[in-house]
Structure 1
Amino acid sequence: MLTGGIGPGGLGPDLARTLARAVADLAALAVAGAALAAVLAPGRVPGADRVPPVAVPVWFAALLVDAVARGALLAGVPLTAVAAGDVTGYLTGFRAGQGLLLAGVVVLVLAGAVAGRPVRPGRGSGPPLLVLALTLAAAAAPAATGHAAASARAVLAVPGVVLHVVAALLWVGGLGAMLVLARDGAVLRAALPRFSRLAAVSIVVLAVSGLLAATARLASPVDVVTTAYGGVVLAKAGLLAGAGALGLLTRRRLQAGRLPVLAWAAAEIVLLAAAVGAAATLTHTA
């Protein structure tokens, strides 16, 4: 059993932090997917304008819970005893806290961008490219100021972890968008080739950036097989490789005109969801 993430305040704050991080990640994926659906099939996705107004407040609430939980861990007290000063002390006194604070500010800006209703259904909530850019920035902020920023190899690790988060959001969010677009076969056939190219680039970026990001916590290559962190890195790499292989098979089926490909995309999402869970574990594993 991994115990490195259990803080002095007990399991409560640490569990709350882990759950809040997972909810925030899922909300970011939902917003990214909705924006990508509007980008890949402009004007043809009526549901794209309904997801961000719901997901963005959930995302902000998850960030608040994350901040409270981290304040409790910092003070060594249960969640019920955390004070406002504990939370503000974490948000302003630590790099990781400042990243979380920056993410919250960007999510608030994002909330303003998605507040207005689109002129026509299917246009998305807010300018899709702006929504996508803000989503990527908010998701990358905590990652860029975490372990990577404190590493002696920060010059490589920080760009690596930022690119890793961006590529993962585009890949997983795009897969979700494809499932939404699948309700209309004509729209799916038009959008899927575009996403397929995006996914191919994302796979390459994920592989390269994953290596760069891992340098923040692995002192030497042997740590990959001798530490718990290295073991989770290997598990995540295996899951991503499996998802990439499924993506390649899906693209080949598309090129051969063998539709639908939804079962393949669903399997790919399952693997990528497991990889996201492994990524959350990496933030708590020494």
Structure 2
Amino acid sequence: MRRSPREAPPGEAAAPPGSTINAVTDAAPARRPLPVWPLAGALVAAVVVAAVALRLGGGVRIVEVPGLPTADPVVAWLLPVAKLVGDLSAALTIGCLVAAAFFVRSADGRIGAQAYRWLRVGALSGALWVAASLVILPANYADLMAWPLSNVTTEGLWSFIVDTENGTAYALTAFLALLAAVIAGRTFTVTGAAVAAILAILAVLPPVFTGHSAASGNHQIAVDSMVLHVVGAALWVGGLAALLLARRDRAEVAARYSRLALACFGAVALSGVINAATRIESLDYLATTDYGREVTLKALALIVLGAVGYWHRAHTLPKVGETNAFRRLAAAELVVMGATFGLAVALGRTPPPPTAPRDETAARSLLGFDLPGPVSAKAILVDWYPEIIVCTVALTAITLYLLGVRRLRKRGDAWSAVRTALWIAGWCLAIFVTSSGMGRYGMVLFSIHMVQHMTINMLVPILLVLSAPITLALRALKPVRDGRGPREWLTLVLHSKPVKFVSHPLIALGIYVASLYMMYFTGLFYWAMKSHAGHLMMLAHFLAAGSLFFWLLIGPDPAPRNIPYPARVLMMFVAVAFHAIFGLTVMQSTDLLAADWYNALGRTWGDTPMADQRAGGGIAWAFGEAPSLVVLVALLAQWSKSEDKEARRLDRAAKRAQETGRPEEDPHEVYNAYLAELAEKDRAAGLRD
């Protein structure tokens, strides 16, 4: 959809003939330029700090080694500069797109004038982000090969993109950022802005899985914490930039951003501490190494930003529409954020401190931790290895659920304590199977992995769907009159075409069953074991597929389709049958699944990988019986309750028809008349014969 040059932005009156109103401004006499000086200040601070830190920290130092090619100094500077431009433009893109989708009100799902401006800025910064990513690709390749850029060929660059994780990651970032920029430049709806924002957030993730964090010891913890760090920083910094670009409704925008900023500050601070702890083994390194000093400076900058944020909430936010104090302080805050981004880029090029000598075995290189000893109850219960993202999602979900229950009870509404307990139990179970000792052994033993799979795919979803989170959200969230709040977004998603499609019983059953076979009988399982990104996607898919399936079967929450109870029972038995077939197939297989992975670990204790796989197949075959029994009991109970409810409804209708003297509205009489009509037709047919 295109606008004519005279068409006003959404939410504004159309331009009269002869006026100079266009798609991105108010009336020409009142035109005000975008306040870009805070953005320029942040850029200058980022570049200056990055240059100083790179020079002092050795990030661009060229070391000549006899017999090896010498790195090109131009590439040594070009790569961090391109990454800095990419990081800053990514934050601005994400901030503007999130603001356009969620920070201002909308009429009938269409964006207003302020959101339109944010989308245009987001599209432009997204294009810059794409350009920076396309510069990073050849610069990364040249840096890896210690070549000048002139030596990079198209064929070699393509091989770098296809055959290396680093090249693939930045190519994927460029592709997703391009999609986000194109959608931002073309859409005029809030839904389109939200889609663009989601794509932009996803676009910052691929390089996280291939950087310093992915190469460090305990790389699962390092990568997970870096994911939270990068996303939190982008939302925090980009959101503030979008707020400074706002021309109207600044008080409302600031209030919504303030809640987001507080959450982002907590995520960035906690994840930063966790990530630094995976690389800095001694506190002395914070003062005695270049890497430690840069980490210390980042921590100090974060403390300053936290203090500024507190001052905002206490003093400037209540008067955001009355004075310029908020704008001046926020601009200074953005400059500090830019400097912090410069430090982060330099940190990514600075060698981490030395670690204690240890045997670098194949297992440690693959797992990120030493190969554990034989399985024991003590090892499972005591030797935890946190899956940071799962823990974060679980604790956030529990907190939001409890806040919803609290809101209901404050206004006098009841909520089942059993449902609350089920929700907490479900997420605690997810934490246990992914972050306890099972998290370690699940990467080493197929049998333990299968226990994890069945728990995440069956037990956890059953507990979660029975807790009715959608019903709680719809009752606890307040509706927004003119625009979309959380309740409106939830309703929109529930009634969207994709949700209606996947909630078809055959589609949901197919996803639940087919994903089992596709994961283990293709190369996906090996990829999910050797790649942490793949492992996270596998866990997310199993949880989502199980939640979708059991939501349709036994979920008390409203669903797009009302499936008859006999069909639900049939779906359950079909799923159980396919699970049993899968388990038997694995037990009888003579081919080792993910053989390269399990053989490379070099495990010398316990069963052989083949015997352990057979045990895993037996677990898959037998594990489903107890959850299936729970589901069947719940189904029969719901079916009986539904029949009783329908009977009471019919009795009320019959009583109402009797009281009003209108027997034609009595459902029993209507049904009897229908049976009599059928009998009369059969009698007439018999007479003709």
TM-score clears 0.5? yes
Aligned Cα RMSD in Å?
2.0
CA distance in structure 2 between the partners assigned to 1:269 and 1:103 by the alignment: 25
Question: 1:226 aligns to what?
Answer: 288
**Contact in 2 for aligned 1:151/1:216 (Cα 8 Å):** yes
State the 1:143 CA deviation. Answer: 2.0
CA distance in structure 2 between the partners assigned to 1:248 and 1:129 by the alignment: 29
CA distance in structure 2 between the partners assigned to 1:152 and 1:203 by the alignment: 26
SS of the residue 2:279 aligns to: coil
State the 1:216 CA deviation. Answer: 4.4
Cα distance change, pair 116–78 in 1 and its aligned pair in 2 (3 A) = same
- Structure with the larger RCO, 1 or 2 (CA within 8 Å, 6+ apart): 1
CA distance in structure 2 between the partners assigned to 1:97 and 1:266 by the alignment: 35
State the 1:30 CA deviation. Answer: 1.9
SS of the residue 1:240 aligns to: helix
CA distance in structure 2 between the partners assigned to 1:54 and 1:237 by the alignment: 31
CA distance in structure 2 between the partners assigned to 1:133 and 1:21 by the alignment: 21
CA distance in structure 2 between the partners assigned to 1:18 and 1:84 by the alignment: 22
Which one has the largest radius of gyration? 2
**Contact in 1 for aligned 2:134/2:171 (Cα 8 Å):** no
Question: 2:345 aligns to what?
Answer: 280
Which sits farther off after the overlay, 146-155 or 275-284?
146-155
CA distance in structure 2 between the partners assigned to 1:188 and 1:53 by the alignment: 22
Question: 2:18 aligns to what?
Answer: none
State the 1:44 CA deviation. Answer: 4.7
- Cα offsets for 1:80-110 (capped at 9, x unmatched): 2222244334334433333222212322332
- Identity over the aligned pairs, expressed in percent? 31
Matching of residues 42-191 of structure 1 within 5 Å: 42=105, 43-45=112-114, 46-118=116-188, 127-181=192-246, 183-184=247-248, 187-191=249-253
**Contact in 2 for aligned 1:224/1:231 (Cα 8 Å):** yes
CA distance in structure 2 between the partners assigned to 1:173 and 1:28 by the alignment: 8
Tell me, yes or no, if structure 1 residue 3 matches structure 2 residue 58.
yes
State the 1:255 CA deviation. Answer: 5.3
Q: Which amino acid aligns with 2:237?
A: V
**Contact in 2 for aligned 1:161/1:213 (Cα 8 Å):** yes
TM-score, reference length from structure 1: 0.89
Counterpart among 303, 308, 330 of residue 241 in structure 1? 303
CA distance in structure 2 between the partners assigned to 1:231 and 1:95 by the alignment: 29
State the 1:115 CA deviation. Answer: 4.1
SS of the residue 2:250 aligns to: helix
Counterpart among 249, 253, 258 of residue 315 in structure 2? 253
Which sits farther off after the overlay, 190-199 or 127-136?
127-136
**Contact in 2 for aligned 1:13/1:69 (Cα 8 Å):** yes
Q: Which amino acid aligns with 2:230?
A: V
**Contact in 1 for aligned 2:187/2:193 (Cα 8 Å):** no
What is the number of residues matched between the two proteins?
278
CA distance in structure 2 between the partners assigned to 1:255 and 1:51 by the alignment: 24
Counterpart among 3, 9, 12 of residue 74 in structure 2? 12
| Unmatched 5+ stretches in structure 2 | 1-55, 63-69, 106-111, 352-689
CA distance in structure 2 between the partners assigned to 1:117 and 1:81 by the alignment: 41
**Contact in 2 for aligned 1:30/1:52 (Cα 8 Å):** yes
Cα distance change, pair 113–157 in 1 and its aligned pair in 2 (3 A) = same
SS of the residue 2:58 aligns to: coil
Cα distance change, pair 115–178 in 1 and its aligned pair in 2 (3 A) = closer
- Cα offsets for 1:138-165 (capped at 9, x unmatched): 1122123211111121121111001001
**Contact in 1 for aligned 2:176/2:199 (Cα 8 Å):** yes
Tell me, yes or no, if structure 1 residue 263 matches structure 2 residue 328.
yes
Which sits farther off after the overlay, 238-247 or 130-139?
130-139
| Unmatched 5+ stretches in structure 1 | none
Which sits farther off after the overlay, 59-68 or 246-255?
246-255
Q: Which amino acid aligns with 2:165?
A: R
TM-score, reference length from structure 2: 0.39
CA distance in structure 2 between the partners assigned to 1:60 and 1:215 by the alignment: 32
Counterpart among 104, 120, 125 of residue 41 in structure 1? 104
SS of the residue 1:51 aligns to: helix
